[in-house]
Structure 1
Amino acid sequence: MDKIDCMRVFVAVAAEQSFTQGGRRIGISNKQASKMIQRLEQELGCQLFNRTTRSVALTDIGRAYYERCQPLLDQFDEVEEAVKNRHRTPGGVIRVTAPTGFGEQILTPALAPFLRQYPEIQVNLNLTNVPLSLVDEGLDLAIRVGSPGDSTMMARKLAPMRLVFCAAPSYLVEHGRPQSPEDLGRHKCLIDSNFHSGNLWPYQVNGDIRRVRVSGPFAANTPKAACDMAVAGLGISLTPLYAAGPMVARGELELLFEENELEGVGVYALYPHNRHLSARVRVLVDYLADYCRDLPQ
């Protein structure tokens, strides 16, 4: 059995936390996967997994080995891919995670022409509002809206993305127009629960970051839902412009406090700093950077 093959089995079992599922992921039996892991542990002289009848978990040494195996396998695959496909377009699987709202509204429509342009590439997209560990989950790329957040990752800013205050004209007529962000504490507000600050909405005054505590009749974990409620006149929303932009363009929402919007907010592509970017991931990141330039700003 080849060392590279054993490493592939190890990575699959670690990612799935199961010999059965890990073996199935790469097309071998549970028994064969267990045998290859045992051989790898014998060669290394250490235990990589803690095993019980119900679970498989990495040991501390196993986790350290996993964090080094994945980028090595990626580089090995990249070398093979470069040799085999010198005259072909990039191909293979790209594992991507993104926030649900941005994924549904922006990323999914963006991927359709990309996949037509690169028919040999397959994208596995995981939409979730829970930030996933790229290393633990075996992911190639994460898209984040706001700030990069994870300092252990390499980050490329794809485009700026304004966080805007907005309300329907009907709400402003009925409840009055707030004169400053401080007034939001006395208004009905629609909460996007994805914000780490929750109901403490941030804004800036001459570069000084401030926060106002808000409350209201509705909260949701996607910005479009909050925007839809704002259009219905139920309150004021703080949301990424990609969600509110079409509604603002149609006159359904009005922007408030533009001079108080946070600076430096954007759409970012994150990937492990110790992982060599494969050609397929690189072309996707470049494509998304071009695509995101046309987003509302």
Structure 2
Amino acid sequence: MTWEGIVEFCAVASTGSFTAAATKLDTSGAQISRKVANVEKRLGVKLFNRTTRSVSLTQAGHIYFEQCQPALKALEEAELNTSQLQKVPQGLIKLTAPVAFGEAFIAPLINQFLKKYEGIEVECRFTNDTMDIIDEGYDLAIRIGNLEDSTLVAKKLATRQLYVCASPEYLNVFPEPKRTDMLSEHQCLVGSQPHWRFNHEGQAQTVRVKGRVKYNSGNALHHAALAGLGLVQLPGFYVRESLAVGKLIEVLSSYRDKREAVWALFPSNRHLVPKIRLLVDFLSAKLVDDE
């Protein structure tokens, strides 16, 4: 068994060009061609169809490429991890997180993390947009709620709870709702989605709400609720302090939706990189579940 020529073969297969493969591996086109020819000779099959204008995989080439890729990735990961075992964690970590949650909780924890590990740099983008973190070159993403199926590795960091609440001022004017179908009689403070989620006796419910106020900001909705403008449904990290001191009062507590998870997502080839593992473990240890 030999690895000679496999890296070069995979580079040509992934780029579709001997010239592009040579640029990717910082070598000459002649060297790439010679290595690939040796692989074909060793295997006794033709791996590429070559013309003056294009290069394409043969059927045998497709099969060989599919089987070589996982092995190469595993080898690259093993070399990366082994080379970093005795090193102080260092380098850049690129991550993304939801705006409000990221600003309130992730950023302060990252600041603590950076004081502990002086060799690490962090670039964090706070956005509520769905991003392909692999295509956009991110090491890590913080996500909340249900996850779509993907090839990303997921680690649960914490959980959060949704609460429906209002100010005492509002509830002095409008009777407290006892059922979700009574929300139509109330002014509801609407976020980016006009639906609130509930769970009653094990049954999930989704209720469309409406009102005079619509904000795509949890902080703005929280302040509107404090001002007595209506009912709001928000995660505990926005409202827990206001609930604790009585500035807001929870309603429909028997209809609370099930807790949702806060996740760290990262590409499979990053989950053993020391600096990524350190940050994920740090966030997991420091983030507190909503009570």
Q: Would you say same fold, with TM above 0.5?
A: yes
Q: 1:258 to 1:273 in 2, by over 3 A?
A: farther
Aligned to 2:130: 131
Matches within 5 A, 1:51-66: none
- Kept after mapping to 2: 8 A contact 1:162/1:266: no
| CA deviations over 1:206-255 (Å, ceiling 9, x no partner) | 11111211001222223122111111111111111111112222322112
- Report the 3-state secondary structure (helix = DSSP H, G, I; strand = E; otherwise coil) of the residue aligned with 1:137: coil
Within the alignment, does 1:287 sit opposite 2:282 as a pair?
yes
Within the alignment, does 1:183 sit opposite 2:182 as a pair?
yes
- Kept after mapping to 1: 8 A contact 2:94/2:122: yes
Aligned to 2:23: 36
| Distance in 1 separating the partners of 2:88 and 2:231 | 47
Which runs of structure 1 show a deviation greater than 6 angstroms over 4 or more consecutive aligned residues? 38-42
Q: 1:201 to 1:36 in 2, by over 3 A?
A: same
Moved more, 177-186 or 123-132: 177-186
Letter in 1 for 2:23: M
Shift, 1:185, TM fit: 2.0
Structure 1: where are the runs of 5+ without partners?
Answer: 12-32, 47-60
Letter in 1 for 2:290: P
Within the alignment, does 1:236 sit opposite 2:228 as a pair?
no
| Distance in 1 separating the partners of 2:191 and 2:173 | 23
Shift, 1:176, TM fit: 1.9
Aligned to 1:99: 98
Aligned to 1:120: 119
Moved more, 108-117 or 214-223: 214-223
Aligned to 1:226: 221
Letter in 2 for 1:202: R
Aligned to 2:246: 251
Aligned to 1:17: none
The TM-score normalised by the length of structure 1 is 0.71
| Distance in 2 separating the partners of 1:272 and 1:41 | 31
The TM-score normalised by the length of structure 2 is 0.73
- Kept after mapping to 2: 8 A contact 1:96/1:126: yes
Shift, 1:83, TM fit: 2.7
| CA deviations over 1:163-212 (Å, ceiling 9, x no partner) | 1111111111122211122211221111221xxxx212121111111121
- Kept after mapping to 2: 8 A contact 1:242/1:295: no
Shift, 1:159, TM fit: 1.1
| Distance in 1 separating the partners of 2:26 and 2:219 | 51
Q: 1:78 to 1:189 in 2, by over 3 A?
A: farther
Shift, 1:90, TM fit: 1.4
Aligned to 1:296: 290
- Report the 3-state secondary structure (helix = DSSP H, G, I; strand = E; otherwise coil) of the residue aligned with 2:213: strand
Aligned to 2:203: 208
- Kept after mapping to 2: 8 A contact 1:220/1:226: yes
| Distance in 2 separating the partners of 1:41 and 1:221 | 53
Q: 1:283 to 1:275 in 2, by over 3 A?
A: closer
Q: 1:100 to 1:185 in 2, by over 3 A?
A: same
Aligned to 1:29: none
RMSD of equivalent CA atoms? 3.6
Letter in 1 for 2:194: N
Letter in 2 for 1:188: Q
| Distance in 2 separating the partners of 1:106 and 1:98 | 10
> Alignment identity in percent?
31
Aligned to 2:107: 108
- Kept after mapping to 1: 8 A contact 2:219/2:238: yes
- Kept after mapping to 2: 8 A contact 1:147/1:267: no
- Kept after mapping to 1: 8 A contact 2:84/2:274: no
Aligned to 2:167: 168
Q: Tell me the matched-pair count.
A: 248
Aligned to 1:267: 262
Q: 1:75 to 1:93 in 2, by over 3 A?
A: farther
Which has more radius of gyration?
Answer: 2
- Kept after mapping to 2: 8 A contact 1:231/1:253: yes
